């Protein structure tokens, strides 16, 4: 069935079809309509779930943690300041190995007050032990949420997952999305089997004091699980492709086979970059695109190109581009552009321009430092 | 998968009764056997006998039982060395 709707409504639909049993969320622009739609589903009985209204995002994440610890599939959504308020509990969910799935609608952080797209909110959570996925279309949002449950809940992974997409550019834009039948989704996504759970018949204590020696092992185990997740992400993406005709993996490559330069970007800028690649190819430029849909775990293995131009909508102050710096030293010729901050429009023409600048050996903040 | 899970066992933290500064004592003459002390004891150091029985090996002397007792049958006295 083809549904034409916004990424926010598509997120709610995906959470419903993944059969989330507990939803705890606090509304924040531009995520609000995700929560509204889910509340509607629960109210009408279309979705058999407990909807927990909370007084903050910190509490929303805490409620999801508690429910997930009871062995129940959960869902939440947030953005910007809401995500930042969750920060403590994001670490908690990761260390407790609870495969919560959350949508984060990327939005700039204030002050100055800004509700437009900017990835610094989720980028600032990259060390919390969550799997991070970025989507470039509403279809990817739907597919990624369902797949995220399967990946996160894999016994080899057991880590929470964050699905990120640009505020307004996707969140409030209607696009056609192919939605499989519920029975097909149920076939793809089996019931959640927790790795541990709170159970009155079998009492346990979770999260009490742990000596350094054990604590270090728990952390190491998360790193190992992140590495294992790379394989699971590829496998689940391939299975999705076989069942529903759209292949996924750690990254999505476009015209990379013979490319001299590869543009690497994420989220909606990757959709725009596809247009830029086509335009540049028409002009005879041998350029390709890597859509970095997985940021954690970082798929270095899939980024073995000689010349990469990174375009990203986030910055680490005092360091520069985040993805750019993660790749530094691993790519023979690397260029980094910071673009689209605070929702600044990045069109395919801007991406073409950045490509030309990189060819001249220039990079930096676009269009502030270089244009 | 590794996370911080432990299985509760009696005395996992040692003889916590040695932490006690105030010692609860029950006046069974006043006790109405409502069992509020048994319900509220955070260390499960009160068990059900004919009357509530305090396990002084583990009772930390927090005084919640005395606070909850509706007939003031539990008195907190300074622990004698």
Please give the domain boundaries of chain B with CATH numbers for all domains. 16-78 (3.30.70.20)
A300 interfaces chain B, CB cutoff of 8 Å: no
Question: What is the interface size between A and B, counted as CB pairs within 8 Å?
Answer: 41
Tokens of A136: 């470039």
Is A205 within 8 Å of B2 when comparing Cβ atoms? Answer: no
Name the pLDDT band for A62 (thresholds 50, 70, 90): very high
Nearest to A221 among B2, B6, B7 (CB): B2
Strand order across the beta sheet in which A294-296 lies: A50-53, A22-25, A74-78, A101-106, A161-166, A131-134, A294-296
Q: Write down the pLDDT at residue B81.
A: 65
Task: Please tell me the predicted confidence (pLDDT) of residue A281.
Answer: 98
Nearest to B4 among A158, A195, A207 (CB): A207
Q: In whole angstroms, what is the distance from residue A18 CA to residue A34 CA?
A: 15
Averaged over A109-116, what is the pLDDT? Answer: 97
Q: Which residues of A touch B2 (CB under 8 A)?
A: 97, 217-218, 221
List Cα–Cα distances, A189 to A11, A23, A257, in angstroms.
16, 18, 33
Contact residues on chain A for B8, CB-CB shorter than 8 A = 203-205
Q: In this predicted structure, what is the pLDDT of residue A239?
A: 98
Q: What is the mean pLDDT of chain A?
A: 97
Q: Give the pLDDT of residue A208.
A: 86
Contacts for A316 with CB less than 8 Å, ≥ 6 apart: A123, A322, A325
Domain ranges of chain A: 2-244, 252-365
Using alpha carbons, list the distances in angstroms from residue A353 to A186, A213, A279, A340: 45, 52, 11, 14
Which of A169, A97, A173, A175 minimizes the C-alpha distance to A139? A175
Each residue's pLDDT tens digit, A37-47:
999 999 999 99
Q: Which CATH architecture has domain A252-365?
A: 3-Layer(aba) Sandwich (3.40)
- The pLDDT tens digits of the residues spanning A202-259 come to 999 898 889 999 999 999 999 999 999 999 999 999 999 999 999 999 999 999 999 9
pLDDT at B9: 85
Is A217 in CB contact (< 8 Å) with chain B? yes
What pLDDT, in 10s, does the model give residues A286-313? Answer: 999 999 999 999 999 999 999 999 999 9
Q: pLDDT confidence of B8, banded at 50, 70, 90?
A: confident
Which of these, B27, B35, B79, lies nearest to B56 by C-alpha position?
B79
Q: Do B7 and A204 touch (CB under 8 A)?
A: yes
pLDDT over 90 at B13, yes or no: no
- Partner-chain contact A221 B5, CB within 8 Å: no
Residue A285: pLDDT band with limits 50, 70, 90: very high
Query: What pLDDT was estimated at residue A11?
Result: 98
The crossing angle, in degrees rounded to 10, of helices A7-17 and A138-152 is 30
Nearest CA in chain A to B8: A204
Three-state secondary structure call for residue A2: strand
A311: β partners: A337
Look at residue A8 in the predicted model and tell me its pLDDT: 98
pLDDT single digits (tens) A118-157: 999 999 999 999 999 999 999 999 999 999 999 999 999 9
Q: Residue A194: closest CA among chain B residues belongs to which residue?
A: B1
Distance CA A76, CA A230 (A): 24
CB contact under 8 Å between A205 and B1, yes or no, is: no
**pLDDT of B80:** 80
- Architecture field, domain A2-244: 3-Layer(aba) Sandwich (3.40)
Coil, strand or helix at A284: coil
Rounded to a whole number of angstroms, the distance from the CA of A75 to the nearest CA of chain B is 22
d(CA A328, CA A300): 11
> Cα(A217)–Cα(A33) distance, rounded to whole angstroms?
41
A23: its two tokens = 């939803």
B76/A331 Cα distance (integer angstroms) = 71
Test the B interface: residue of A91, A205, A217 with most B CBs within 10 Å: A205
Chain B positions touching A218 (Cβ under 8 A) are 2-4
Report the pLDDT value the prediction gives residue A316, as an integer from 0 to 100. 97
Q: What is the mean pLDDT of chain B?
A: 94
**Residue of chain B with shortest Cα separation from A155:** B1
Identify which of A203, A207, A225 has the shortest CB distance to residue B8: A203
d(CA A168, nearest CA chain B) in Å: 38
Partners of B6 on chain A (C-beta within 8 Å) are 204-206, 208
Nearest-CA residue of chain A relative to B6? A205
Nearest-CA residue of chain A relative to B1? A221
> Burial code of A81-101, b = ≥16 C-beta within 10 A, e = fewer?
bbbbbbeebbebbbbbbbbbb
Query: From the CA of B1, how many Å to the nearest CA of chain A?
Result: 7
**Is B8 in the A-facing interface, judged by CB distances under 8 Å?**
yes
Residue A196: closest C-alpha in chain B: B5
Q: Which tens digit of pLDDT belongs to each residue from A325-354?
A: 999 999 999 999 999 999 999 999 999 999
């Amino acid at each position: 069935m083809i549904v034409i709707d916004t990424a926010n409504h598509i997120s709610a639909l995906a959470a419903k079809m993944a059969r989330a049993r507990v939803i705890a969320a606090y509304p924040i622009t531009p995520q609000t309509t995700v929560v509204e739609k889910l509340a509607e589903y629960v109210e009408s009985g279309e979705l058999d779930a407990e909807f927990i209204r909370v007084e903050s995002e910190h509490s929303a994440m805490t409620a999801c943690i508690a429910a997930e610890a009871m062995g129940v599939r959960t869902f939440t959504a947030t953005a910007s300041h809401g995500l930042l308020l969750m920060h403590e509990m994001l670490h908690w969910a990761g260390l407790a190995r609870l495969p919560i799935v959350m949508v984060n609608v990327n939005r700039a952080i204030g002050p100055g007050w800004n509700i437009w797209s900017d990835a610094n909110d989720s980028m600032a959570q990259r060390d919390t032990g969550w799997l991070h996925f970025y989507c470039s279309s509403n279809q990817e949002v739907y597919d990624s949420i369902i797949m995220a449950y399967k990946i996160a809940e894999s016994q080899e992974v057991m880590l929470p997952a964050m699905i990120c997409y640009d505020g307004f550019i996707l969140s409030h834009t209607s696009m056609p999305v192919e939605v499989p039948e519920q029975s097909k989704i149920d076939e793809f996504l089996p019931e959640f089997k927790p790795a541990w759970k709170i159970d009155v018949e079998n009492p346990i204590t979770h999260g009490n004091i742990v000596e350094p020696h054990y604590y270090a092992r728990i952390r190491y185990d998360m790193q190992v699980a992140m590495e294992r997740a790379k394989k699971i992400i590829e496998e689940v993406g391939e299975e999705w492709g076989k069942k529903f005709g759209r292949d996924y993996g750690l990254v999505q490559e476009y015209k990379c086979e013979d490319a001299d330069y590869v543009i690497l970007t994420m989220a909606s800028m990757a959709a725009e970059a596809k247009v830029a690649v086509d335009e540049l190819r028409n002009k005879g430029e041998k350029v390709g695109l890597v859509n970095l849909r997985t940021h954690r775990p970082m798929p270095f293995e899939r980024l073995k190109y000689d010349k990469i131009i990174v375009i990203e909508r986030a910055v680490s102050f005092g360091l520069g581009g985040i993805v750019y710096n993660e790749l530094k030293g691993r790519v023979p010729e690397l260029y980094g552009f910071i673009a689209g901050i605070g929702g600044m429009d990045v069109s395919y023409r801007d991406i073409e321009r950045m490509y030309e600048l990189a060819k001249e050996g220039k990079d930096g903040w676009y269009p502030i430092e270089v244009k | 998968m590794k996370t911080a899970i432990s299985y509760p066992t009696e005395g996992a933290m040692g003889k916590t009764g040695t932490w006690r500064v105030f010692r609860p004592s029950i006046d069974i003459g006043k006790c109405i056997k409502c069992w509020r002390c048994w319900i509220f004891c955070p260390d499960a150091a009160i068990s059900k006998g004919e009357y509530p029985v305090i396990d002084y090996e583990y009772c930390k002397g927090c005084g919640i039982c005395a606070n909850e007792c509706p007939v003031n049958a539990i008195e907190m006295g300074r622990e004698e060395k």
